[in-house]
Amino acid sequence: MEYTKDQIQEFVNKYAVNDNLTFPTHFEHRLDVISSKILYSLLREFKPKTCLEFGTSWGGSALVILKALVCNELPYKYIGFEKEDNLRIDTLRNITHWLTTGAANSIHFELWGDITRNLHKVPQKLDFAFIDPDWEEDIAIWTYENIIPRVKKGGLVQIHDWSVREKEGRLVYEGGGYKGIFYFIDRFERGEMPLEKLFSVWDWEEYRNSSIASSFWIKK
């Protein structure tokens, strides 16, 4: 089911371009333009209703997700988590700014702190999960055990910071040293990760220098 770069571009043209998606530039965030367009377009295509994001950082990815959910014109539930108080406040401020500038009439979202202390707030069944923690090994293990199982079969998953490519039949981590990414790689290579790759920007040379390694997956 893996998409080619041309197929992804078709989604981007159909949704991000046609919807005139604007990239938020009035604050610092870590979701690049390429990743934003792909994320938005896949959310428009898959139309998830129950959505989870952690961590939200400054809120750039939260804005992209919420814009897609609003444009889908379907009932939705968005729940975000950010354990750093200052970043969580920034996320709320930037979402509120989007509303007060007339970019949206209303949105529906929840925003909480440390997800590991608030698992009871995560729905049992998720249509979409955006995974971008601090990537220590303990949070990767916790995510594997507590969040991945809650994603429905056929649900969409974004794993951020996935600067990983397959070489000679092995997954090679090229863009960092996060222990949590190594843990996920090990789960994939053991055949224990129930995710099938849709698209990874790190697989494409022209994207690697301008993207923070977003990857998109489907729950098997």
162: Cα separation from own chain's centroid? 11
CA 144 to chain centre: 15
Give the pLDDT of the chain (220 residues) as one tens digit per residue: 899 999 999 999 999 999 998 877 777 777 788 899 999 999 999 999 999 999 888 888 998 999 999 999 999 999 999 999 998 999 888 888 776 665 556 678 899 999 999 999 999 999 999 999 999 999 999 999 999 999 999 999 999 999 999 999 899 999 888 999 999 999 999 999 999 999 999 999 888 877 778 999 999 9
pTM, two decimal places: 0.93
| b (16+ CB within 10 A) / e for 130-169 | bbbbebeeebbebbbeebbebbeeebbbbbbbbbbbeeee
